[in-house]
Amino acid sequence: MPSNKPNQKPYYITTPIYYVNDRPHIGHCYTTLIADVAARAQRLIGRDVFFLTGTDEHAEKVSKTAAENGKTPYEWATINAERFKEAFAFMNFSNDDFVRTTEDRHKIKAVQYIQQLLDQGDIELGDYEGWYDPSQEEYLTEMVAKENDFKSPVTGKPLEKRVEQNYFFKLEKYEGSLREQIESGEIRVLPEARKNEVLGRLKQGLRHVPVSRKIKEGDADWGISMPGDDQHRIYVWIEALCNYLTIVDNDERKEYWQGEVVHLMAKDIIWFHAIVWPAMLKALKKPAPKTVYAHAYWIAEGQKMSKSLGNFIEIDQLQAYAEKYSLDAVRWFLTTQGPLGANDADFAHARFIEVYNADLANSIGNSTSRVGNMFNKYFDGQVKGTCNGQFGFPDGSSLQTALIALENAGKKADDPDRTFKLAEFAGQAVDNAVCALETVDLSTMLDEGRSIVRHVDEFISYSAPFTLAKQLETLDDGEHALSSILYSCAEALRIASLLLYPAMPEKMAELWRNWNCNHLIDPNDPNSGFVAPLSELAKWGGEYGLKPGQAIVKGEALFMRADAKEPAPGSEQTA
């Protein structure tokens, strides 16, 4: 049962480590963005977070592309690892570390784990015949190979029948315990549809998996040798999975593996994460990850992205969007419209503009600038008085005054008995958001933030403070009513901004600077950490709430409206 009481364990969130044969694209940025939003949200609720991403370098395809480009594998890996680091810095990801599997800190520990499995008899030498997918560097079962017409289910390239003498991990030994762990929820495979898929495949039975590949003549000198046998290299997948543990398997970071471990990835590699890796961990006598979350795919303008179609949305295109509409708008679009659930999502320019205008320019951007403008116009840019956010009750004289003003201006409220409880509404939204975070349901978390903004918009239309402002002379408590309404709108928007922060850290920090809210340790640095946990920050009128006398600087609108007719940035087409 999800709860709104934050779990106090350290939170360790990972992304896949990405192949460095090529440059980063939207898919790599997306998974890392989701991890970033979750990490920021967990830090916001006050947890100790460790967020890891990085690059998977010892793959055959890395040495092959390196040769095609006239570079050594390591040179080529370094060029691309740098591109990933730059792209991730551009996206404002708050990862605590970036692992490259060519680093000693990873290699040394990975070898130790394999050695332990050899010593225990979990890994043995034997013959193996199977269907190998060279584009994904993995073996497929006979059944999966057949189902896919002996082509790669990911790239469609032909599979190769390979017979090898290899070292094997006895995966089948862990079949029962894996089923138990997944069925009982000890390992949560999310979303639910993926859990059913994994359990379905598990029913077909497990067989041992290769953990090495034999060195062939002409092979590049690339990869980590099998301990005790330099004729074999550790199979890249097995080595890569170890990164999640190698990087925190030390005195300073070991509590992260004892905490809540969350692995994020797309559906293509769920099997390795939900089955192979937990079995290896069981064999290594280490706790299982709590969550294995596999999202679906991005496609582009209705088509699957592929090298042959040349339609990958590359980082340059995301940069062009960010330049035009702001980075946080790109982060918002990807997070809220992306394939977080079981279905693929389409990156289409027209949709981007629609979402940008509806969610950002016309909603959060418009609300904050309207409220800021009213404070400036009516109260010299200062918070005047506080308010408990309740309107329309026996003690809610403010709303009655606003309604009288409306009537004086010749308008009737649709429902004169309507009540508003903004503080309660915002508090409930915060609770719901914290609950949603439990299952990495980031869309719901952000939607709770948006629902507060919508509620404020509704309240503004209903109470019409701009009309009230024109009647101040003739109403007894008009000024009090106006300041109560504005305070309530601003305080609700401030709470909403906390929930929206994980997706839009720069824009929300800009708002906090304009409104002089002291949420961040360094108000000028959106990555500087919070002065208190969300439960304190989000208290209506609490220690971190808006205070009488607090200056509200008008500032520029957070998001300018976008014109749907403008061409997509970074391309020639028009929408």
Structural contact between residues 468 and 405, judged by C-beta atoms closer than 8 angstroms: yes
Residue 279 or 364 with smaller CB distance to ligand MSP: 279
Structure tokens at 10: 């350290």
Please pick, from the candidates 140, 269, 292, 493, the single residue that binds ligand MSP as defined by CB under 6 A: 269
Q: Does 435 bind ligand MSP (CB under 6 A)?
A: no
Please pick, from the candidates 159, 274, 305, 489, the single residue that binds ligand MSP as defined by CB under 6 A: 305
CA dist 29 and 41 (Å) reads 18
Residue 134 or 523 with smaller CB distance to ligand MSP: 134
Question: Which residues 6+ apart lie within 8 Å of 69 measured at CB?
Answer: 76
Residue 31 or 432 with smaller CB distance to ligand MSP: 31
Please pick, from the candidates 39, 99, 171, 266, the single residue that binds ligand MSP as defined by CB under 6 A: 266
Question: Which residues 6+ apart lie within 8 Å of 193 measured at CB?
Answer: 342
Q: Does 241 bind ligand MSP (CB under 6 A)?
A: yes
Please pick, from the candidates 12, 19, 356, 391, the single residue that binds ligand MSP as defined by CB under 6 A: 19
Q: How far is the CB of 305 from ligand MSP (least distance, A)?
A: 5
Q: Does 24 bind ligand MSP (CB under 6 A)?
A: no
Residue 33 or 387 with smaller CB distance to ligand MSP: 33
Q: Does 60 bind ligand MSP (CB under 6 A)?
A: no
DSSP 174: G
Q: How far is the CB of 246 from ligand MSP (least distance, A)?
A: 11
Residue 197, exposed/middle/buried by CB under 10 A (0-12, 13-18, 19+)? middle
Give me the amino acid identity at 117.
L
Residue 250, exposed/middle/buried by CB under 10 A (0-12, 13-18, 19+)? exposed
Query: Taking CB under 6 A as the rule, which mask of x and - marks residues 27-56 in contact with ligand MSP?
Result: xx-xx------------------------x
Residue 168 or 277 with smaller CB distance to ligand MSP: 277
Residue 269 or 279 with smaller CB distance to ligand MSP: 269
CA dist 29 and 331 (Å) reads 10
Query: Taking CB under 6 A as the rule, which mask of x and - marks residues 158-197 in contact with ligand MSP?
Result: ----------------------------------------
| CB count in 10 Å sphere of residue 572 | 6
Residue 127, exposed/middle/buried by CB under 10 A (0-12, 13-18, 19+)? exposed
Question: Which residues 6+ apart lie within 8 Å of 98 measured at CB?
Answer: 52, 53, 54, 55, 84, 85, 88
Q: Does 17 bind ligand MSP (CB under 6 A)?
A: yes
Residue 298 or 420 with smaller CB distance to ligand MSP: 298
Site residues for ligand MSP per CB under 6 A? 16-19, 27-28, 30-31, 56, 240-241, 265-266, 268-269, 297-298, 305
